[in-house]
Amino acid sequence: MGKAVIVYGTRGGGTKRIAEAIAEGIRIEGGEAEVINVTGVKKEGDLQGYDGYLFGSPTYHGQMMQPMKTMLFLAEKAGLEGKAGGSFGAFGWSGEAPGRIFDTMKHILKMDMGSGPLRLKSIALGGGTAMAQAYGREMARKLKAS
Ligand SMILES: Cc1cc2nc3c(=O)[nH]c(=O)nc-3n(C[C@H](O)[C@H](O)[C@H](O)COP(=O)(O)O)c2cc1C
Protein backbone atom coordinates (compact mmCIF):
# COMPACT_ATOMS: atom_id res chain seq x y z
CA MET A 1 0.00 0.00 0.00
CA GLY A 2 1.38 3.37 -1.00
CA LYS A 3 1.60 6.67 0.77
CA ALA A 4 -0.28 9.84 -0.13
CA VAL A 5 0.57 13.45 0.62
CA ILE A 6 -2.22 15.98 1.10
CA VAL A 7 -1.07 19.58 0.62
CA TYR A 8 -3.54 22.31 1.53
CA GLY A 9 -3.75 26.09 1.64
CA THR A 10 -6.24 27.86 3.90
CA ARG A 11 -7.07 31.19 5.52
CA GLY A 12 -9.97 30.18 7.75
CA GLY A 13 -9.18 26.50 8.38
CA GLY A 14 -12.01 25.05 6.26
CA THR A 15 -9.76 23.50 3.63
CA LYS A 16 -7.47 22.11 6.33
CA ARG A 17 -10.47 20.29 7.84
CA ILE A 18 -11.28 18.79 4.44
CA ALA A 19 -7.63 17.68 4.10
CA GLU A 20 -7.79 15.95 7.48
CA ALA A 21 -11.03 14.13 6.59
CA ILE A 22 -9.50 12.95 3.28
CA ALA A 23 -6.53 11.63 5.28
CA GLU A 24 -8.94 9.77 7.59
CA GLY A 25 -10.51 8.12 4.54
CA ILE A 26 -7.10 6.97 3.29
CA ARG A 27 -6.24 5.55 6.73
CA ILE A 28 -9.63 3.78 6.98
CA GLU A 29 -8.61 1.85 3.85
CA GLY A 30 -5.27 0.99 5.46
CA GLY A 31 -3.20 3.57 3.59
CA GLU A 32 -0.71 6.12 4.86
CA ALA A 33 -1.39 9.84 4.54
CA GLU A 34 0.67 12.90 5.41
CA VAL A 35 -1.07 16.29 5.68
CA ILE A 36 1.09 19.35 4.98
CA ASN A 37 0.37 23.09 4.84
CA VAL A 38 1.39 24.43 1.43
CA THR A 39 3.63 27.01 3.11
CA GLY A 40 5.81 24.10 4.28
CA VAL A 41 6.61 23.01 0.71
CA LYS A 42 9.83 24.86 -0.13
CA LYS A 43 11.47 22.81 -2.87
CA GLU A 44 10.48 20.13 -5.36
CA GLY A 45 12.20 17.47 -3.22
CA ASP A 46 9.54 18.07 -0.55
CA LEU A 47 7.01 16.59 -3.00
CA GLN A 48 8.99 13.51 -3.97
CA GLY A 49 8.70 9.98 -2.57
CA TYR A 50 4.90 9.68 -2.44
CA ASP A 51 2.59 7.51 -4.54
CA GLY A 52 -0.47 9.76 -4.43
CA TYR A 53 -0.98 13.54 -4.33
CA LEU A 54 -4.00 15.56 -3.22
CA PHE A 55 -3.73 19.34 -3.54
CA GLY A 56 -6.32 21.69 -2.04
CA SER A 57 -7.08 25.40 -1.90
CA PRO A 58 -10.10 27.52 -1.05
CA THR A 59 -11.36 30.00 -3.65
CA TYR A 60 -10.73 33.69 -2.98
CA HIS A 61 -11.70 36.25 -5.63
CA GLY A 62 -12.25 33.47 -8.13
CA GLN A 63 -8.77 32.02 -7.68
CA MET A 64 -6.70 29.52 -5.73
CA MET A 65 -4.46 30.98 -3.01
CA GLN A 66 -1.08 32.34 -4.19
CA PRO A 67 1.03 29.77 -2.24
CA MET A 68 -0.78 26.96 -4.09
CA LYS A 69 0.03 28.60 -7.45
CA THR A 70 3.70 28.79 -6.42
CA MET A 71 3.65 25.15 -5.28
CA LEU A 72 2.24 24.00 -8.62
CA PHE A 73 5.30 25.49 -10.33
CA LEU A 74 7.50 23.48 -7.95
CA ALA A 75 5.39 20.38 -8.64
CA GLU A 76 6.07 20.83 -12.36
CA LYS A 77 9.74 20.12 -11.60
CA ALA A 78 9.09 17.25 -9.18
CA GLY A 79 8.49 14.55 -11.81
CA LEU A 80 4.95 13.55 -10.84
CA GLU A 81 3.94 12.18 -14.26
CA GLY A 82 1.64 9.17 -13.98
CA LYS A 83 1.18 9.49 -10.20
CA ALA A 84 -2.33 9.31 -8.73
CA GLY A 85 -3.82 12.75 -8.10
CA GLY A 86 -6.84 14.61 -6.80
CA SER A 87 -7.81 18.14 -5.75
CA PHE A 88 -10.16 19.72 -3.24
CA GLY A 89 -11.15 22.95 -1.51
CA ALA A 90 -13.68 24.85 0.56
CA PHE A 91 -15.67 27.54 -1.25
CA GLY A 92 -18.49 30.02 -0.80
CA TRP A 93 -20.38 30.30 -4.10
CA SER A 94 -18.27 29.86 -7.26
CA GLY A 95 -15.45 27.52 -6.11
CA GLU A 96 -13.05 27.73 -9.06
CA ALA A 97 -9.87 26.68 -7.22
CA PRO A 98 -10.26 22.87 -7.02
CA GLY A 99 -11.07 22.66 -10.74
CA ARG A 100 -8.09 24.83 -11.69
CA ILE A 101 -5.77 22.70 -9.58
CA PHE A 102 -7.25 19.52 -11.05
CA ASP A 103 -6.74 20.75 -14.62
CA THR A 104 -3.14 21.77 -13.93
CA MET A 105 -2.38 18.37 -12.37
CA LYS A 106 -3.92 16.65 -15.38
CA HIS A 107 -2.60 18.73 -18.28
CA ILE A 108 0.73 20.12 -17.02
CA LEU A 109 1.86 17.62 -14.38
CA LYS A 110 0.38 14.75 -16.46
CA MET A 111 -0.86 12.93 -13.40
CA ASP A 112 -3.35 10.07 -13.24
CA MET A 113 -6.39 12.00 -12.01
CA GLY A 114 -9.45 10.52 -10.32
CA SER A 115 -13.12 11.21 -10.91
CA GLY A 116 -12.95 15.00 -10.47
CA PRO A 117 -12.25 17.70 -7.91
CA LEU A 118 -13.88 17.68 -4.47
CA ARG A 119 -15.60 20.99 -3.76
CA LEU A 120 -17.24 21.48 -0.36
CA LYS A 121 -18.91 24.59 1.06
CA SER A 122 -18.09 23.30 4.50
CA ILE A 123 -17.09 19.99 6.00
CA ALA A 124 -19.94 20.52 8.46
CA LEU A 125 -22.67 20.74 5.79
CA GLY A 126 -24.60 18.03 3.97
CA GLY A 127 -22.43 15.02 4.79
CA GLY A 128 -19.18 16.86 4.04
CA THR A 129 -17.05 14.65 6.29
CA ALA A 130 -18.33 11.48 4.62
CA MET A 131 -17.74 12.96 1.16
CA ALA A 132 -14.17 13.96 2.03
CA GLN A 133 -13.49 10.54 3.57
CA ALA A 134 -14.90 8.90 0.43
CA TYR A 135 -12.51 10.97 -1.68
CA GLY A 136 -9.62 9.69 0.45
CA ARG A 137 -10.87 6.12 0.21
CA GLU A 138 -10.99 6.39 -3.58
CA MET A 139 -7.34 7.47 -3.58
CA ALA A 140 -6.36 4.64 -1.20
CA ARG A 141 -8.08 2.03 -3.36
CA LYS A 142 -6.21 3.34 -6.39
CA LEU A 143 -2.91 3.07 -4.53
CA LYS A 144 -3.73 -0.49 -3.45
CA ALA A 145 -4.51 -1.47 -7.02
CA SER A 146 -1.27 -0.05 -8.45
C1 LIG B 1 -12.66 38.18 0.60
C2 LIG B 1 -13.26 36.85 0.23
C3 LIG B 1 -13.39 36.49 -1.10
C4 LIG B 1 -13.96 35.26 -1.44
N5 LIG B 1 -14.09 34.94 -2.77
C6 LIG B 1 -14.72 33.78 -3.11
C7 LIG B 1 -14.95 33.46 -4.48
O8 LIG B 1 -14.57 34.17 -5.42
N9 LIG B 1 -15.61 32.31 -4.77
C10 LIG B 1 -16.06 31.46 -3.78
O11 LIG B 1 -16.62 30.41 -4.10
N12 LIG B 1 -15.86 31.73 -2.48
C13 LIG B 1 -15.21 32.87 -2.11
N14 LIG B 1 -14.99 33.16 -0.80
C15 LIG B 1 -15.46 32.19 0.24
C16 LIG B 1 -14.35 31.22 0.70
O17 LIG B 1 -13.91 30.43 -0.38
C18 LIG B 1 -14.93 30.31 1.81
O19 LIG B 1 -15.18 31.10 2.97
C20 LIG B 1 -14.03 29.15 2.17
O21 LIG B 1 -14.72 28.29 3.06
C22 LIG B 1 -12.73 29.58 2.82
O23 LIG B 1 -11.91 28.44 3.00
P24 LIG B 1 -10.73 28.40 4.08
O25 LIG B 1 -11.39 28.37 5.45
O26 LIG B 1 -9.99 27.13 3.79
O27 LIG B 1 -9.86 29.61 3.91
C28 LIG B 1 -14.40 34.37 -0.44
C29 LIG B 1 -14.25 34.74 0.91
C30 LIG B 1 -13.69 35.97 1.25
C31 LIG B 1 -13.55 36.32 2.71
- Asked if residue 11 has its Cβ within 6 Å of ligand 1, the reply is yes
Q: Distance between CA 102 and CA 87 in Å, rounded? A: 6
Domains parsed from the chain with CATH numbers: 3-145 (3.40.50.360)
* pLDDT digits 0-9 by tens, 12-62: 999 999 999 999 999 999 999 999 999 999 999 999 999 999 999 999 999
- Asked if residue 37 has its Cβ within 6 Å of ligand 1, the reply is no
Burial label, 60 (beta-carbon count in 10 A; 0-12, 13-18, 19+): middle
To 10 degrees, the CA torsion angle through 40, 76, 49, 3?
80
- Asked if residue 82 has its Cβ within 6 Å of ligand 1, the reply is no
Q: How far is the CA of 116 from the centre of ligand 1 (A)?
A: 20
Q: What percent of the chain has pLDDT over 70?
A: 100
